Amino acid sequence: MAENDDVVVVYDYWRDNEAATLAHILEGVGERQLYFIVSHFHEDHFNASIVDYEGARLLVSYDAAKRRRLPKERLSAVLRPADIYEDEHLKVHAMRSTDVGISTLTTMPDGTTIYHAGDNNNWYFVENEGEHIRCTLDEMEGMFLSNLREVRSVSKAVDYLMFPVDPRLEGEMLRGVCQCLQHLKVKHFYPMHTWERWDEVRRGVEQLKELFPETVFVMPEILG
């Protein structure tokens, strides 16, 4: 989620946390424009209640629009890779993912950039490769690095990065993260797709702090 004086942008809303942080924020939207951006249809990235927020602008990936049968009249944009949505408040580049759907690079009028990876990651499942991906590890890595070059072609620096730190990757959990941080100059990093395995994620983030001291790594106490 990102907000300023003009907008509230919610990425891949699927549930609130125990403190109902998002509910409180949405209650305080006021005159600001509310956006919901959906990267793909997976259950842990989508909540059908977004269509119920009157006045919200819904920017939805092509697969979520189809698979979740969202009403066309409620959608401000259906996004495929290479699509661009722009209005008076923000500009959104839809980009590729190594899984379904899209990733997004959002640019605010003041130049602030936000990259939300969705499920774009180097899904390097060494131990159980066949159970998770339908390509070789080398092919996966090649696709991911190509996707990073696509992001870099639009912006070499990102103010806020939301990216998977997925413990299911075990010893390769930080592989895609490090590659992303090597390609992009990132000010603030927010881990997601953590499966609430916080001890493993925190240990990984401590390693990242040493490797990328110029980046601020944000670890909320409660993160959905």
pLDDT, tens digit, 9 for 90 and up, residues 54-94: 999 999 999 999 999 999 999 999 999 999 999 999 999 99
Confidence band for 223, pLDDT divided at 50, 70 and 90: very low
When computed from its CA atoms, the radius of gyration of the chain, rounded to whole angstroms, is 17
Among 166, 163, 164, residue whose Cα is nearest residue 125: 166
CATH number of 2-217: 3.60.15.10
Q: Six-digit token pair at 123?
A: 């899904």
pLDDT, tens digit, 9 for 90 and up, residues 108-147: 999 999 999 999 999 999 876 566 667 899 999 999 999 9
Burial letters for 66-76: b for 16+ Cβ neighbours within 10 Å, e otherwise? Answer: eebebeeebbe
pTM of the model: 0.94
115 CB contacts (<8 Å, ≥6 apart)?
Answer: 103, 104, 105, 106, 151, 155, 158, 160, 161, 162, 163, 184
* Helix pair 198-211, 175-183: axis angle to 10 deg: 30
Task: List the chain domain ranges.
Answer: 2-217
